Amino acid sequence: MLTGTVVDCSELTTREINQQLRTLAAEGLEQVTLTNPAGRHNLAVGMDTRMRIQIAGPVGYYCGGLSEQIHLEIDGNCGWSVGENLMAGQILIRGSASANAAATARGGTICILGNAGPRAGISLDSEEVTNLLEKQQNSYPGVQTKVTPTTEAKEKQGMIITIFNNKGGVGKTTLTINLAAALNSLGKRVLLIDIDPQANLTTGLGVDPLKDVEYEKRKDISDLLIDPRLPLEQVILKRRWGNVQLDIVPSHIRLSDMEATLIMTPDIDRVLKKKLKKYTTEYDYIFIDPPPSFGKVNTIALMASSGVLVPTQLAPYPIRALEYVVNRAIAIDQSRDGEPLPILGVAVSMYNRTAHKLARNMVDEIVNVLAKRDESKNVELFPEKTWIPSLSMISVASGKGYPVCFAEYDNELDQRDKEAAQDALNCYINLAKHLIQKTGV
């Protein structure tokens, strides 16, 4: 007999339901039944647990999405991308599923008793699933049964990404914080490295470089760079806001006096790369937030990275700067023998929703800038749904030292602020999903 419980979803937000699921899984419960799901999206998203989750009714899109291991039973139809990214475990859908059920999965079993939309389980390698999907093809011609054989799931490698733009104040740090929080809420493990002496990322996450680092005799990024024996874990601070957890390497103003020391330190350009090497299996994403310059710490950040994300505003000056940013990333890429440094894309960091026409012109400008060089002509400007609006609530959240997703718990905010925070959060989630899709992590 499994130890189990029932959670009635009717009075709970999706976030609260997911939080309860995580708590129950952490407590070692073996089974949970969610009643009254009312066609909700994103239930049990990013869960990696052997606990059986039974959903008593139809659901919307993305339920059990981004979960590498999940045991999910859905007693009805479901929307797109249910159980996407499955690596182990089972998904049983008693109704029909629209597109992408368990697509991009590399293991596990998916069983759909009704019809299945296109790309269901497209890269699964299980015989059982293949057979099932072949049967499905008869009932629904859109189903593909193409199977990419994969014997074993490879150990997953995370990505190290520098959020790069030498133009000051384009929203790099704010985007880094909130993108990281959105990725974590989708189940990704994220480390943030503040390599900017302004320490805005550090303070934006509620860590005071003076009180929480210096007075507490903790290590910071400067120690990490100049002490060859200091391991990363001794510099990390762990912070939690509700169900979001981020690990942080803090910065401190003293980094601004270090340029000469850094230049004198042997093999300094590779020091961060070496220190991060063994952590790419512990984190899905490691983001590095450098200062707005082309100085030494920027080179260190880029040399340590496996990709670059370029945030920009849709305004003339930042777009003029974009050409230099792209050229710099390409120059580093070409200097790293056999270790490419792809530009993952251009993300819009502060979008003025009322300036629609200007935005269209600026999009054309960006496309022109990217098209100037062969190396960048295929770099993507991320789609509009991922553009982060310019909203004062985003700035307020950084000032209060938390990611915008935590605003809903802040009793000092009124309803309008909370709605603005939710609006921003949706955009960060879209950005996070796009990045996951792009990087395959």
Chain residues binding Mg ion by CB under 5 A are: 172-173, 200
B/e letters for 138-159, b = 16+ CB within 10 Å, e = fewer, are: eebeebebebeeeeeeeeeebb
In the block, which residue shows the tokens 């580093």? 332
CA 107 from centre of chain: 22
Exactly one of 58, 107, 292, 307 binds ligand ATP (CB under 6 A); that residue is: 292
Residue 432 sits in the site that holds ligand ATP (CB under 6 A): no
Of 37 and 311, CB closest to ligand ATP: 311
Q: Report the distance separating Cα 359 and Cα 181, nearest Å.
A: 27
CA 416 from centre of chain: 26
x/- mask, ligand ATP, residues 144-173, rule CB under 6 A, reads ------------------------xxxxxx
Q: Which helix (H) or strand (E) holds 74?
A: strand 69-74
Straight-line distance from the first to the last Cα atom of the chain, in angstroms, rounded to the nearest whole number: 36
Of 349 and 376, CB closest to Mg ion: 349
Min separation Cβ 194 and ligand ATP, Å: 10
Residue 42 sits in the site that holds ligand ATP (CB under 6 A): no
Residue 430 sits in the site that holds ligand ATP (CB under 6 A): no
Of 104 and 200, CB closest to Mg ion: 200
Contact 344, 308 (CB under 8 A): yes
What does 136 bind: Mg ion, ligand ATP, none (CB cut-off 5 to 8 Å by kind)? none
Of the candidates 307, 321, 378, 377, the one whose C-alpha atom is nearest the C-alpha of residue 349 is 321
Residue 313 sits in the site that holds ligand ATP (CB under 6 A): no
Min separation Cβ 355 and ligand ATP, Å: 14
What does 222 bind: ligand ATP, Mg ion, none (CB cut-off 5 to 8 Å by kind)? none
Q: Report the distance separating Cα 285 and Cα 223, nearest Å.
A: 22
Residue 384 sits in the site that holds ligand ATP (CB under 6 A): no
Residue 28 sits in the site that holds ligand ATP (CB under 6 A): no
Number of Cβ within a 10 Å radius of residue 28: 10
Contact 345, 367 (CB under 8 A): no
Q: Which residues bind ligand ATP (CB under 6 A)?
A: 168-174, 196, 198, 200, 291-292, 349-350, 388, 390-392, 394-395, 398
